Amino acid sequence: MAHVLGQNQYGKAETRVVRVRRDTARHEIKDLNVSVALSGDLDDVHLTGSNANCLPTDTTKNTVYAFAKEHGIESAEAFGIHLARHFVDDNEPIRRARIRIEEYAWDRIPTQDDAGPGHSFVRSGGEVRTAEIGYDGSSFQVITGLSELTVLNSTDSEFWGYIKDKYTTLKEAYDRILATQVTARWKHSWSGAETQPPWEQSYAEVRRHLLEAFAQTYSYSLQQTLYAMGTRVLNNRAEVDEVRLELPNKHHFLVDLEPFGLKNENEVYYAADRPYGLIEGTVHREGVTPVIPVA
């Protein structure tokens, strides 16, 4: 009994590449985790066991390393564009490529004697930068993002006026902590025709606007904060036409200190792990068809 092979893709996931630029004594490093997914004329691989159209995942890994030398890594996006173009344009059976990249940032270790050789680094921690590059042989789709950016407002957050039903026990809050671990993805309007945007600068600016919008929004719900963050990016960065945010509500519950004869004046909180509210949403420009998928 024959069935239909639907969407399929394959490639090497999580190739870890570190690229050092040593042109001068002041080295530069780029630290990426690259995942390749290819699709195309691959029915035979699945149905007959013929691998004639299969570019091995091992080869996609090798290509990541070779391209790090041949092209360098100017930015995660530019590097992914090189890879995606190669896999599709240079392999007839491959029709689509999706390159996902995580980038880990490093700072220089400051030393008192800063005449030093500039080869010492400390991982920045904080958020992971992400990039997803899609290419189908004619146009590109670039979605930049970040994850694990944890933020907290210790006031200027309320939550009240919601539906009450028979399962409601939550008390309305007029001054609460609002904390979340931001996962954001934003699509660039660039699709391959013109000069590429300045990816590094664009990332830094979007990140800044996300943080500022979170900090400056007086919030009546995490949904409202989400919308404010998305619109702030669209208002300030012309190269972006869609933003999607996933904001887990990292609950900080006020501890009841009355049994101990103490009054908790919004000072002592229990930071909970699970369960957590999860608020997700897309904000996009009018006329743009949103493409960033739901997680």
Using DSSP bridges, classify how beta strands 178-188 and 28-40 pair: parallel, antiparallel or unpaired. Answer: unpaired
Is 12 catalytic? The answer is yes
Q: Which is nearer to its own copies, 116 or 196 (CB)?
A: 116
# binding residues, its own copies (CB under 8 A): 147
Q: Which is nearer to its own copies, 7 or 138 (CB)?
A: 7
Q: Which is nearer to its own copies, 130 or 153 (CB)?
A: 153
Q: Which is nearer to its own copies, 195 or 293 (CB)?
A: 293
Kindly identify the residues of this chain, within the stretch 167-186, that bind its own copies according to CB under 8 A: 167-170, 177
Q: Which is nearer to its own copies, 100 or 193 (CB)?
A: 100
Q: Quote the least distance from Cβ 204 to its own copies, whole Å.
A: 13
Q: Which two tokens stand for residue 134?
A: 């899609």
Stretch that binds its own copies, among 67-75, 136-144, 187-195, 198-206 (CB under 8 A): 67-75
Kindly identify the residues of this chain, within the stretch 70-129, that bind its own copies according to CB under 8 A: 70, 90-91, 93, 106, 109-113, 116-117, 119-127
- Answer yes or no whether residue 4 interacts with its own copies by CB under 8 A: yes
- Answer yes or no whether residue 147 interacts with its own copies by CB under 8 A: no
Stretch that binds its own copies, among 28-36, 75-83, 131-139, 186-194 (CB under 8 A): 28-36
Enclosing H/E stretch for 140: strand 140-153
User: Rounded to the nearest 10 degrees, how much is the dihedral formed by the CA atoms of 38, 43, 45, 49?
Assistant: 170
- Answer yes or no whether residue 136 interacts with its own copies by CB under 8 A: no
Q: Which two tokens stand for residue 150?
A: 């944890």
- Answer yes or no whether residue 196 interacts with its own copies by CB under 8 A: no
- Answer yes or no whether residue 237 interacts with its own copies by CB under 8 A: no
Task: Let me know: does 245 contact 281? Beta carbons within 8 Å.
Answer: yes
88, 145, 221, 239: residue in contact with its own copies (rule CB under 8 A): 221
- Answer yes or no whether residue 193 interacts with its own copies by CB under 8 A: no
Q: Which of 30, 82, 86, 251 is catalytic?
A: 251
Q: Which of 12, 187, 250, 284 is catalytic?
A: 12
Hunting for tokens 């993805």 — which residue is that? Answer: 185
Enclosing H/E stretch for 211: helix 199-216
Kindly identify the residues of this chain, within the stretch 29-48, that bind its own copies according to CB under 8 A: 29, 31, 35, 37, 42, 45-48
- Answer yes or no whether residue 192 interacts with its own copies by CB under 8 A: no
Hunting for tokens 């009240």 — which residue is that? Answer: 160
Using DSSP bridges, classify how beta strands 240-249 and 178-188 pair: parallel, antiparallel or unpaired. Answer: antiparallel
Is 57 catalytic? The answer is yes
Hunting for tokens 């002592």 — which residue is that? Answer: 268
What one-character-per-residue DSSP string does 20-89 give?
EE-SSSS-EEEEEEEEEEEEES-HHHHHT---TT---HHHHHHHHHHHHHHT--S-HHHHHHHHHHHHHH
Task: Let me know: does 256 contact 262? Beta carbons within 8 Å.
Answer: no
Task: Let me know: does 246 contact 282? Beta carbons within 8 Å.
Answer: no
Kindly identify the residues of this chain, within the stretch 245-264, that bind its own copies according to CB under 8 A: 248-249, 252, 255, 257, 259-262, 264
Give the residue numbers annotated as catalytic, written as ranges: 12, 57, 251
